[in-house]
Amino acid sequence: MEDCLFCKIIHKEINSNIVFENDNVLIFKDISPQAPVHLLAVPKKHISSILEIEKLDSDIIKELMEAIARVALEMGLDKEGFRVVTNTGRGAGQSVDHLHFHIMGKRKFNWPPG
């Protein structure tokens, strides 16, 4: 997808700090971390948001969730709990229109979120 920041990161046209990669999934560090651990997990396929997931994407989404869990465990985030968030739409804070899950850990999280 032209002009999509995360597609450019996926295609290595823009540098990122990658912590996990396979054929369908990329997980990299957020450039502006809001927690001691703040990663972004994306499907390599351009999907604009959770609203655009199609039936055909179910294997990719499963892999994405499995990768999130694997990385969270590898980083020891399960010990004190961690948060996985996908903002959908501008009103909820989505600024990049490529489906991404924030993985945040190593600090206290409030509920409900602001």
List the catalytic residues.
Answer: 100
- In terms of Cα–Cα distance, which of 8, 30, 11 is closest to 19? 30
Q: In the complex, which residue's CB is closest to Zn ion?
A: 4
Cβ within 8 Å of residue 40, ≥6 positions away: 6, 27, 28, 29, 30, 100, 101, 102, 103
Q: Considering only the stretches 19-27, 58-66, 71-79, 91-99, report the one whose residues sit in contact with ligand AMP under the rule CB under 6 A.
A: 91-99
Q: How far is the CB of 22 from ligand AMP (least distance, A)?
A: 19
Q: How many residues bind ligand AMP (CB under 6 A)?
A: 12
Question: Could you tell which of Zn ion, ligand AMP, none binds residue 32, using a CB distance below 5 to 8 A set by kind?
Answer: ligand AMP
